[in-house]
Structure 1
Amino acid sequence: MIVPADFLRALADNGVSFAAGVPDSLLKDICAAITDSFPAERHVIAANEGAAVGLAIGHHLATGRPALVYMQNSGLGNAVNPLASLAAPEIYGVPMVLMIGWRGEIAADGRQLKDEPQHVLQGQVTLPQLELLGIAHRVVDAASDPAEAVRWAASEALATSRPVALVVRKGAFAGYALPARRQASPHTREAAIAAVAGALPADAAVVATTGMASRELFELRKRDGAGHDSDFLTVGGMGHAASIAAGLALAQPERPVVCLDGDGAILMHLGALTESALRPNLLHVVLNNEAHDSVGGQPTAAGRLDLLTLAQACGYRHIARAEPAEAGAAIADLLAADGAGFLEIRCGRGARPDLGRPDRTPAENKRDVMAFLQETAR
């Protein structure tokens, strides 16, 4: 395996002194090492992958050196615009080193490794996407020499004035743990989700964000024998749950719609809140643990922001903050109010080790939710 310290040393040896990106579970060890080792002025955990590319462009303009931009392969979609319309040699020609975690990777023999549903197609198209964009790339695994891989990437990026990519297979990096940080709250996210679910009317539709929140909601319904037909689990597409909820609320204005979101997710596409805030039948619940909890626990900007002030500025009519024990009363008040509501519930990082995954496919989930929406339409 690649020792994270060896990879960081290779970056320094090749003049790569700035890093930006969105954490990924497959890259969690090297992301943790970067977070722990780089000073704040040389590392930014970006709101989304496109923003990370923008930071890398700015760094190059000021220093003449390439930056490291890290992401999961699902984040390539956010990065394509600035990669193709700004960094490409046909435009500004900006060198940078992309480090991309290959979820749903294709093995050397052509088999696709088993992964979650949202990573199947993305895993198949990762290398073709890079080829289509004209981004030279190499696949990195546990046997790779980090010094050679980084030397190639940095020298190729500088020589061609373009982004290049290191596509990282699962298990490439040895373990690295971040030092313990204070918890945002002593309450678990699962307790917060249970409090929210228990306070909703029977006809409420729930759109849950990707990651642990959807898994915990599914487990809660399964434990209670409540069924899953009112819950749309946004298993991929981080940051888009609010827009999905807004579209649903717009189509069924008489139905209460609840978006169960995370702090990292809302920050990824914060502008979407200006639209969801216009839906008077929408309640946006943000579970804020100040972390990218599903992919390694790296901090988000939510630890230094007032989300209620942001929500109010985006247009939400009614805002509140509550502990899980108070969530039921807060939800009742917000649903009864005239206008879109925003509720922040602070919770701690982490999940129980035996947390399961949904045993229904995304297609089955979609079918169940559509049936529920039609059968209970007012």
Structure 2
Amino acid sequence: MKVEDFVDVLNCEFYTGVPDSQLKALCNYLMNTYGIDEKHHIIAANEGNCTALAAGYHLATGKIPVVYMQNSGEGNIINPVASLLNDKVYAIPVIFVIGWRGQPGVRDEPQHIYQGEITCKLLDLMNIENFTIDKDTTVDEIKNVMNGYINLLKSGKQVAFVIKKGALTYDGEVNYQNDNEMLREEIIEHIVKVTGENPIISTTGKASRELFEIRDKNHQSHKYDFLTVGSMGHTSSIALGVAINKPDEKVWCIDGDGSVLMHMGAMAVIGNIHPNNLVHIVINNEAHETVGGMPTVAKSIDLISIAKACGYSYVGSIDNFNDLDIELEKIKDSNQLSFIEIKSSMGARDDLGRPTTTTFENKENFMNLLNE
């Protein structure tokens, strides 16, 4: 189904969400049609954030908003759906559009398997009427479903469309890019060169995949790295938990801008606890690149000042490899909580693979390293 037809049937004026590869057609359509426009389209930090934003839109306009996201974000919407939107509370209507990763019977990455199994079950538990769209779903079917949804929305209930892979199509293209020069994979290579046998906790998406392949290329063990393949936004908190309990280890966290924005409160907790053995690196390419390239707000905010205000002892921002190497060597030999923003270009190798070890092997090997 063409995404234009889907949007016409929804007949809504405001969209907010967190990008997803299953919803790339919708995301690209919104960027080409509206860009980032506070009246029509806002990319939020996390799914709970966009759900609350949608509620505010309805309160101000009386109109029905659309919230889009990957199914991994359902956990983030449970609280605002149950305690804000629900018809026993404020009865705020919202249409959710959810990309279905880990659909049962379809091969996917381990972090999506269980989430895929419970995607519709969670919606059912939240009393959100839902309909699944696949490649064969017709526009007339969607119209019939929307006709049934109208009364539910008028009564202050929420509804959802769950989108299978390839169900929505879009012929338009969007060129996502920035003005930065350093490639993320090369940045991680420089980090690995300095960290030696120190543990690394790496963020969701391509960064962890690149770290895995760098270890292979260097003929190094994967035991030094914990790959946060899911749980976006929580990498720095995992690293904090390790750093607190292994005070004699230098612990490195490789984070991304989309990840750090998703749960930025973690930075305040890190700064307050203040482990001197933790290095928090944010590779900032100003984009949700792993799921398509839609922009984050990381270009327009000052991450360095935020980190400083949260209590990090040492902060720095890097945009070239010479300064990166100097900073990494300096931090390696220091004993202070550090935050480094590294400004990265977009892009990854077309042949970038995925980890060949299992998540269980990753965990066991990493735990064995920490307890050697």
Question: What is the TM-score normalised by the length of structure 2?
Answer: 0.94
The reply to whether residue 198 of structure 1 matches residue 196 of structure 2 is no
Count of residues paired in the alignment? 365
Q: Report matched runs for 1:189-268 at 5 Å.
A: 189-202=184-197, 204-268=198-262
What amino acid is the match of 1:235? V
The residue identity in structure 2 corresponding to 1:234 is T
Structure 1 residues 315-324 or 46-55, which shifts more?
315-324
Equivalent position SS for 1:286 = strand
Q: 2:330 aligns with which of 325, 333, 337?
A: 333
User: What is the match of residue 7 of structure 1?
Assistant: 6
The equivalent residue for 2:183 is 188
- Give CA-to-partner distance per residue, 1:56-78, whole Å, 9 cap, x none: 10011011111000011110001
**Structure 1 residues 43 and 176: CA distance shift in structure 2, 3 A:** same
Provide the rounded CA distance (Å) in 2 between the counterparts of 1:105 and 1:282. Answer: 37
Aligned to 2:357: 360
Q: What is the match of residue 314 of structure 1?
A: 310
1:281 maps to: 277
Q: Is the contact between residue 28 and residue 174 of structure 2 (CA under 8 Å) also seen in structure 1? A: no
- Provide closer, same or farther for how the CA distance between residues 146 and 21 of structure 1 changes in structure 2, counting only shifts above 3 A: farther
- The one-letter amino acid of 1:11's match is L
- Stretches of structure 1 that go unaligned for 5 or more consecutive residues are 107-111
Q: Does 1:168 align with 2:163?
A: yes
Structure 2 spans left out of the alignment, 5+ residues = none
The residue that corresponds to 1:145 in the other structure is 138
The alignment status of 1:346 with 2:355, answered yes or no, reads no
Contact 1:60 1:94 in 2 (8 A): yes
Q: Once the 2 structures are TM-superposed, how far is the Cα of residue 336 of structure 1 from its aligned partner?
A: 2.8
- Distance in 1 (CA, whole Å) between partners of 2:247 and 2:148 is 52
CA–CA distance in structure 2, aligned partners of residues 369 and 153 of structure 1: 51
Output the amino acid matched with 2:63: R
CA contact (8 A) 1:184 1:348 kept: yes
Contact 2:176-2:294 within 8 A present in 1 as well: no
Secondary structure at 2:336 match in 1:
coil
The Cα offsets for residues 308-367 of structure 1, whole Å up to 9 and x where unpaired, read as 111111211101122234322201212333421011111111211000000001110000
Are positions 1:371 and 2:364 aligned together?
Answer: no
Q: Does structure 2 retain, via aligned residues, the 8 Å contact 1:97–1:163? A: yes
2: CA distance between counterparts of 1:156 and 1:345?
50
Secondary structure of the equivalent of 2:21?
coil
Report the alpha carbon displacement of residue 284 of structure 1 after superposing the two structures with TM: 0.6
Provide the residue aligned with 1:122 in structure 2.
115
Q: Which residue of 2 aligns with 1:109?
A: none
Distance 1:184 1:146, change over 3 A: farther
Q: CA deviation at 1:233?
A: 0.1
SS at match of 2:22: coil
SS in structure 2 at match of 1:301: coil
Render the CA deviation track for 1:280-322: whole Å, top value 9, x for unaligned: 1100111110000000000000011121111111211101122
| Structure-2 change in CA distance of 1:104 and 1:224 (3 Å) | same
Q: Distance in 2 between matches of 1:219 and 1:132?
A: 40
What per-residue deviation string (whole Å, max 9, x for no partner) do you get for residues 260-296 of structure 1?
0100000000000112232211001111100000000
The equivalent of 2:55 in structure 1 is 57
Query: What is the alpha-carbon root mean square deviation over aligned residues?
Result: 1.5
In the TM superposition, residue 153 of structure 1 has moved relative to its aligned partner by 7.0
Q: Which moved more, 1:77-86 or 1:305-314?
A: 305-314
Structure 1 91/71 Cα, relative in aligned 2: closer, same or farther at 3 Å?
A: same
Q: Could you report, residue by residue, the CA deviation over 1:184-243 in whole angstroms, capped at 9, with x for unpaired residues?
A: 4122110111011111132x1100001000000000001110110010000000000000
Structure 2 vs 1, CA of residues 129 and 25 (structure 1 numbering), >3 Å: closer, same or farther? same
Shift of 1:4: 1.8
Matched, 1:295 2:288: no
Q: Cα 1:152–1:225, aligned 2, differ >3 Å: closer, same or farther?
A: farther
